[in-house]
Structure 1
């Protein structure tokens, strides 16, 4: 994945690799169990993510990889297929965090990724089958909860679903979940202190429904359900 010198100089890019998220946080955001997150990083469990030491926090790129794998598992893509796709892209495209640095598509049980050749042409390959070529017309849409910049890095994760205003963006509030730019934990704190959703909305200049979505995400109001997967 190519990056320009000006892009590398952007301060927020340095935070992509900094350990910032506890395993429990990543599990809650991805709606999986902490044990599953840990297992996905272990060699003896058939690792599908980058190596991580016990009790070590996850970087933003590692968090996005957890989220992408969780999304594939919810779509019933088997772990061996996910592992094969990651290994192919890591080896062939020299990417340490393939699921955060490349966009993936799904068709049936197969995973596809697109990359640009030296000629400038884009090639779509079946990542979990050693790079077999594929037709764009056959491949399903991208994971809708992620937005990618033109270089491929996933810079926005709609952590509560594509229809929710809750996002994790490394350019906003150091990558903490936000609603309209306001950290959800701050909204929760104000509500816990006895302030109404309308008062919070007026103070931050956001709408009341967005405040309520933040409170649902933080577990204060009903509506944010956990769906454990393995």
Structure 2
């Protein structure tokens, strides 16, 4: 199952589109940068790979960073160190695409975020009474992800977490879909003049599935126009 994490899934441009982040931002997270005489290490990779392809694990972990990009200017130096510590503590190259830090390993996460000097606004877990609870961005992220054991196997790209739209590495080559039907194909049928009931019958979907697919695709188009 862990082999799926290393699978190359998307071009950098496509991953950025699906995550709704700037490609330059995603590239920096993956490859770091060189500015004047100073080099900045990647966030999601242990070292630059000189590639514009994105693995499934990198895509999922970028989804985690995206949660913080919604409201915060993520501090790269401390965040980089935090993820490095998580790699060491959990012994995996992709700790944010692993369920344990969010569920059973919160004590290790707490130690890592304090050791990295990560500001409280960027913590994954926080103390509440005598419990360690997920912060709002971390909780929102983990609810976007479907798990098989401790491995991330699906991701919800829709801002509405009630949406059934999913990205899965083994379904439609990672394209957003509902019940195995690409949302892009559903939108194309709608653009061609088919009504929702006809589309639902065509692909053996419920009418609500079609509505969710169209809502997602229309929001993607709106985001692209606004960029």
The TM-score range, normalised by the shorter chain, is 0.7 to 0.9
Bigger shift: residues 45-54 or 30-39:
45-54
Whole-Å Cα distance in 2 between the matches of residues 204 and 193 of structure 1?
15
TM-score by length of 2: 0.73
C-alpha distance in 2, partners of 1:31/1:64? 13
The unaligned stretches of length 5 or more in structure 1 are 1-7, 106-112, 116-121
Q: How does 1:41-120 map to 2 (within 5 A)?
A: 41-43=30-32, 44-50=39-45, 51-76=47-72, 77-102=74-99, 104=101, 114-115=104-105
- Counting matched residue pairs gives 203
Query: Which of 106, 110, 115 is the matching residue for 1:130?
Result: 115
SS of 1:156 mapped into structure 2: strand
TM-score, normalization by structure 1: 0.72
Q: Could you tell me how far 1:223 is from its partner in structure 2?
A: 8.0
Which has the bigger relative contact order, CA under 8 A and spacing at least 6?
Answer: 1
Partners of 1:208 and 1:224 lie apart in 2 by 23
What is the CA RMSD across the aligned residues, in angstroms?
3.3
In the TM superposition, 1:1-230 aligns within 5 A as: 8=1, 14-43=3-32, 44-50=39-45, 51-76=47-72, 77-102=74-99, 104=101, 114-115=104-105, 123-126=107-110, 127-130=112-115, 135-140=130-135, 142=139, 143=141, 144-151=143-150, 153-161=151-159, 162-219=161-218, 225=223
Of Structure 1 and Structure 2, the greater helix share is in 2
Q: Kindly indicate whether the alpha-carbon contact (under 8 Å) linking 1:37 and 1:66 is maintained by their aligned counterparts in 2.
A: yes
Gapped runs of 5+ residues in structure 2? 33-38, 118-124
